[in-house]
Structure formats: C-alpha cells, structure tokens
Structure 1
Amino acid sequence: MVFWEGYVSDEVMGIFAPIVIYWLYGGFYQLLPPLDGYRLHTRKEEEEKNLLSLSKVVKGVLLQQLLQAAVAHALFLLTSTADESGITIQPSIPIQIVQIIIGMFVMDTWQYFMHRYMHQNKFLYRHVHSQHHRLVVPYAIGALYNHPLEGLLLDTIGGAIAFLTSGMTARTSVFFFSFATVKTVDDHCGLWLPGNIFHIFFQNNTAYHDIHHQLPGTKYNYSQPFFSIWDKILGTHMPYTLVKRPEGGFEARLVKD
C-alpha cells in the first residue's frame, strides 16, 4: 500500500513524481538565502561565469521533462503486467531493493560512458554537451539543463535501460527515479551544507561534480548520478580537497594523483 493508491495509478506517479520533485527540491535550494558560508562558488562567480539566464535554463529543463514524460508513458504502456482487473503484483520489498540497486549500477554505467564520449567526441561536445557546461557554476534548478538530444540519450534512455534491465514495476520506479532526481539536483546545488546525507554516504557528490564543471576538471569525474566506480576503474577519477575561503564558503580544489 502506498499513499497514492486509489487516487492515481502507479504509471501516472512514475511519469510525474520525478518532475514535481525536481521543481520542489530544486526550488527549495533556489529560495534559500545566499548562505555564503557554505557556497562552493561566490555569487559574483555565478553571475560572471554562467553564460545563460535562469529563464532559459527553466525552459530547457521543461523541454527535457516533456520528452522524459513521453518516453516514460510509452515505456509503461509496453511493459505493463497488470491483470484483467488492472492490478500489478508487486514483488517483495527485498526484491525491490535489489532491483533499485541494479538500476543504480546500470544507470551509472550508461551515463558514465555516454557522458565521457560526449566529451571525447569534439562534434558532440561542441554542438550538444557544451550546452550543459554553459553553467560553469552549477545550481540546483540547472541540474537537468541540457541540449534536448543529450537529455534524451544520456538521462531518458539511460533511465529506460535501467528500468528494463532491473525488471522493476512502475511502482518501484516511482521511488527509484524520485531518488535519482533528488540526487542529481543535490549534485548541482553548489552548496556544501553540514549534515547533507549525500555528502556523507556518496563520494560522488556536490563537490565531486563541481570539479567536473571546472575547466581543469572537464576530462575527469564523469560519473553520475550515484557512484564514482567507473572513474576509479578507468583512470578518470580526480580527487579534491575542500578549502575554506577567507571571505567565506568553500572551494573544491583538484588534487592530482
């Protein structure tokens, strides 16, 4: 039993829950006070280095989410296992946990290799992936700001493959994709807040991804959104150290092996 049962279907929740959560969680960060003592970049850096307006970022994210919703709808139609009464038998909680873990590793694998290739292929980087890097100083609402082709190939198809490979149901996918959304937004929030559970339990976190957005780090730290395994295995892992700035806040500095 889940709280939405009897109100909306699992499929509808699977389509719209990640979108709503994106704007709620990203909006939460956007509405916070400046918190200069916890920022990885100063407000001045954000204003001077980022190459596009907030309104353009919002429009770009909404376009990607429209494509994401269309693919999710088609995916649920094709994989529905509901019986004649419209009920889908849900696996046990331990099996759902295993499916989510499988989905995390599959999504990480797909996104690592696609992300890395978009940096190595000069045409794809110049015409597609560079759009995301126009946010030199990342912020939460810009987490899914990409070229539409990148959004489709990297995020949407990557999520679809994780869903199909793991065998999760639409209901399980609500939790999986909602968690992936929160993690992705957090990785782009630009804040190093004390007690953030993602910073405690994941090496792939806000500072880790911030290194990738810095010019010297663009060939490193490709992994997203969960683990840093592929970076470490394939030699693209760039460690960092957090240094307290005299004027307040932190700076993530590269530490070359």
Structure 2
Amino acid sequence: MANATSTPLFAALGPNPTPSLPELPSYTLSLRPPLMAGIPDVWIQMAAPIIAYWVVSLFFHIIDEFDLCPQYRLHTPAEIAKRNRVTRWEVFRDVVLQQIIQTIAGLAMAVFDPPEMTGKDEYEVAAWALALRKIQAWVPPLLRLCAFDSATLSARLRQSYPTLAAIVGGGAYSRPGFAAWELHVAGFVYWVGVPLIQFTAGSIIVDTWEYFLHRAMHMNKFLYNWLHIRHHRLYVPYAFGALYNHPLEGFLLDTVGGGIGYLLTGMTVRQGMLFFTLSTIKTVDDHCGYALPWDPLQHLTSNNAAYHDIHHQSWGIKTNFSQPFFTFWDHFLGTVWKGGDVKLRYERDRAAAQRKVDADKAALQASLARSALTDSASASQQASASQQQLDRQPVAVDELRDERDLKLAAYRSPRRKSGFDAKALTDRVASSRHGRSSAILRAEH
C-alpha cells in the first residue's frame, strides 16, 4: 500500500525523459604556451608576488617619507622612530630571506606538478551547457507540483518566447545542439563562476590556517617567544614590514598556508599566480599604516589596516588574529577587539612618542651648545699658545726685520746702477742673522 501511494509522488518529482542531448565536442590537448616567451609560467608565479610586494611597499614608502597623506596616518613619524624595536635594514633583510624561502619551496613543489595542457576549454564550456540542459529536465515536474501543466504552458509560450517555452518543456529545443543562452551561461560559469568559487574557497582556507596558527603563537608562550615575537617588534607596522617574521614562522604561516589553499582548490598555475599576488598585495595593504578612503582593499572586507593595526598594539595584541582576508573567525570565536573606541589610546601613544622625540632634540641641542663652547675655548687656547710661542722667539722677529732693512738698503744704494754682487748681499744677510759685523761687499772692477 505504501508503495502504491509513493510511486506516483516519486514519478511526479522525477525529471521528464530527457530529449536527445547534444554531443560534446572533441578536443586535442597540447602544452600550454607560457605567458612570456622563454619564461615558464611557474617562474612568473614565483616572481609576481615578490614584485608586487616591493612595488606596493615602495608606493606606501614614498607616501610615508614625503608625508603626502598625514591626515590618514594611523601613526606619526615619531611613533615609527621611537616605538619600533627593529631597524628598517633588519626588516628588509628578513623579508628578503623569507621571499627566498618561498621561492625555493614553490619551485620544489612545481617539480612534482604535471605540465599544464590546453585545448579543452571548448569541451569544458560544452560540458557545463550539457549540465544546464539536464537541469531543465526538472522544470516540468516542479511545475506539476505547483499544479501547472508544462506541456500546455510551453505550447502557449512557443510563439512569442520560444526559448522560455523550450525550458518549460524540459529542454525540448527545435534545433539540434546547444542554445545560445546555454553556451553563454556555461561560458560565464566556466570562466568566471568556477574561478571565483576557487578564489573564495582558497581565501577561506588561508584565513582558517593563518587564524588558528597565528592564535596558537600568541597563546603558547614558547611559540611566541621563540617565533612570533619577532613580528611584534613592529609596534608601528609599515608596508614592507608585512612579511617581517622569523623564517620558520614565515614558512609555516604564509608559504604553507598559501600552498594548501592553492592545492585544495585545484587552481591552475596562472590562477595561483593571481591568487598569490593578490594575497601578497592584501597583506602589504593591511600593514601599510594608512586608512586611505580611496583604497579599495580597505573597503573590500573589514579586515584592513586599521583592524590589523589594533593587533600590533600592546593593548590589543590578544585580539584581531584574522588575516589577511576576512574576520569571521574573530567574530565567531570571540577574539575581535571589544575595547570600544581606540581614538584616545592612539592619541596617548602619539603624545608619548612625541615627548621622546622632543627630549632627544633638546638633548641634541644642548650637546651642540656644549660642543660649540668647547670649540671656542679650544680656539682661544690655541691662539694664546701661538702668541706665547712668538714671544719666546724674539730673535726670529729681529732677523726678519734685519733682512728687510738690508734689502731696502741694497735697493737704494747708488751701486745698483752699475750692478751689484748678489752673493755679497746674501753673505751680508747671513752675517746679520748670526750677529756678525757689517756685511762684506765685493765690488766689481
């Protein structure tokens, strides 16, 4: 009895017998040519995130150095100078080291990947179109559940809306092959929908991996003191410090996390190229130190520079663990910042840093003043010593005066018209210097 009543219902819910389905096109696979001639795509996949990292970092560094957008700063230059516990050179060095490790890991993983092929795109689009055709077979039974006769409704629509009539009829098209709309929708699904799902899933995977590992490094004292404390030497983050980590932490958090998201979602090399590059840009933007209103990444999700900057402060270090895309884990597990408005906290930190800078300037000015006084006293002492030295050498002064008088006398002598003996004059000068009697002049005959 139960079977007798359930069979008609099951039949009503089942799809209509599918009309003859279009055949899928054949395809021939070939090696995918590289984006740039002579350079394998995997090399570009490794290089693109690094190039993006330094280009975006340079952009924010220029804004920072020339103070182009002071109204959007999260921190003042005084805070950067006084609150951070690491030099820019050390940050640069460690970031380059992490990027080298990432590149080696990526190239090692690429060795085991099969070569990418092309030539199947048309087939894949047709496969999605075929799936749409099969879905249409469920339209008549769904209409019957709503007390509509699909055949009658299809006949009424066929004259004015032939495509809609075919859909209502369960995919019964008058022409063989796929309808134009099926191919358009299938193309959108294949070229846009599937990659978008892959990117979203990859972002969620990366966020999940980084949230729990990042949180563990804060909750476990050994992991924090051994690994993660290095990243938090930057109390005032700036753009190119985004990947400033312990090398092992950088490998586990960023390299492994990104690799898992890439592999589990089945991305191609070129999709991975875009995914890794966008992830890198987002990470740099989260550490840029600016809340720029015209920056799209600041508004794409709530996980932005202002959100992550709270995590870098001493009063918010146990909150806002999420990075780099979404914040759902912080909200779901209660680790989002709940301390209210942070404006007063930021103003207090700015004032404290500025006081330190002012104190350093005052100390420098005092040091320069003392140095100037010391130099002046030293110059006076040197002048006095020189005068004393001259006073102790009167003979030298007298010798110079005698030499001058002798030269003047020789010039005025009437003998100069007929010539004079230069050697005699020299002897006289020498005799005068040694306190001898009058000079001996030799007259010419």
Whether TM-score is above 0.5 comes out as yes
Match of 1:100 in 2: 199
Cα distance in 1 for residues equivalent to 2:328 and 2:300: 14
The alignment status of 1:141 with 2:240, answered yes or no, reads yes
Match of 1:42 in 2: 76
Match of 2:319 in 1: 220
Q: 1:185-234 CA distances to partner (integer Å, 9 max, x unpaired)?
A: 00000011121112222100000000000111111000000000100010
Match of 2:37 in 1: 6
Instruction: Report how far residue 238 of structure 1 moved.
Output: 1.1
Aligned-pair Cα RMSD in Å: 2.3
Match of 1:113 in 2: 212
1:23 to 48, 54, 59: 54
The alignment status of 1:51 with 2:85, answered yes or no, reads yes
**Partner-residue secondary structure (3-state), 2:112:** helix
Asked whether the 8 Å contact 1:11–1:170 carries over to 2, the reply is yes
Asked whether the 8 Å contact 1:82–1:88 carries over to 2, the reply is no
Distance 1:219 1:242, change over 3 A: closer
Q: 1:48-69 CA distances to partner (integer Å, 9 max, x unpaired)?
A: 0001111110000000000100
**Partner-residue secondary structure (3-state), 1:96:** helix
1:190 to 283, 289, 292: 289
Match of 1:76 in 2: 110
Distance 1:105 1:5, change over 3 A: same
Cα distance in 2 for residues equivalent to 1:159 and 1:88: 28
Cα distance in 1 for residues equivalent to 2:46 and 2:314: 35
Cα distance in 1 for residues equivalent to 2:228 and 2:330: 19
Match of 2:177 in 1: none
Asked whether the 8 Å contact 2:34–2:41 carries over to 1, the reply is no
Distance 1:191 1:113, change over 3 A: same
Report the more deviating stretch, 191-200 or 169-178. 191-200
The alignment status of 1:62 with 2:161, answered yes or no, reads no
**Partner-residue secondary structure (3-state), 2:315:** helix
Cα distance in 2 for residues equivalent to 1:241 and 1:112: 24
Which amino acid is 2:73 matched to? R
Match of 1:165 in 2: 264
Cα distance in 1 for residues equivalent to 2:33 and 2:201: 22
Cα distance in 2 for residues equivalent to 1:88 and 1:213: 49
Cα distance in 2 for residues equivalent to 1:207 and 1:139: 12
Unaligned runs of 5+ in 1: 250-257
Match of 2:135 in 1: none
Asked whether the 8 Å contact 1:132–1:147 carries over to 2, the reply is yes
Which amino acid is 1:184 matched to? T
Q: 1:128-151 CA distances to partner (integer Å, 9 max, x unpaired)?
A: 100000000000000000000100
Asked whether the 8 Å contact 1:75–1:160 carries over to 2, the reply is no
**Partner-residue secondary structure (3-state), 2:326:** coil
Instruction: Report how far residue 82 of structure 1 moved.
Output: 2.5
**Partner-residue secondary structure (3-state), 1:216:** coil
Q: As a proportion of its length, which structure holds more helix?
A: 2
Which amino acid is 2:44 matched to? M
Cα distance in 1 for residues equivalent to 2:119 and 2:39: 14
Asked whether the 8 Å contact 1:180–1:225 carries over to 2, the reply is yes
Report the more deviating stretch, 24-33 or 62-71. 24-33
Which amino acid is 2:324 matched to? P
Report the more deviating stretch, 97-106 or 59-68. 97-106
Match of 1:155 in 2: 254
| Matched residue count | 244
Match of 1:232 in 2: 331
Distance 1:138 1:130, change over 3 A: same
Distance 1:241 1:5, change over 3 A: farther
| TM-score, structure 1 normalization | 0.88
Instruction: Report how far residue 5 of structure 1 moved.
Output: 4.1
User: Identity rate of aligned residues, in percent?
Assistant: 43
Which amino acid is 1:41 matched to? H
Match of 2:181 in 1: none
Report the more deviating stretch, 133-142 or 28-37. 28-37
Cα distance in 2 for residues equivalent to 1:141 and 1:151: 14
Instruction: Report how far residue 77 of structure 1 moved.
Output: 2.0
Unaligned runs of 5+ in 2: 1-31, 125-189, 351-445
The alignment status of 1:178 with 2:274, answered yes or no, reads no
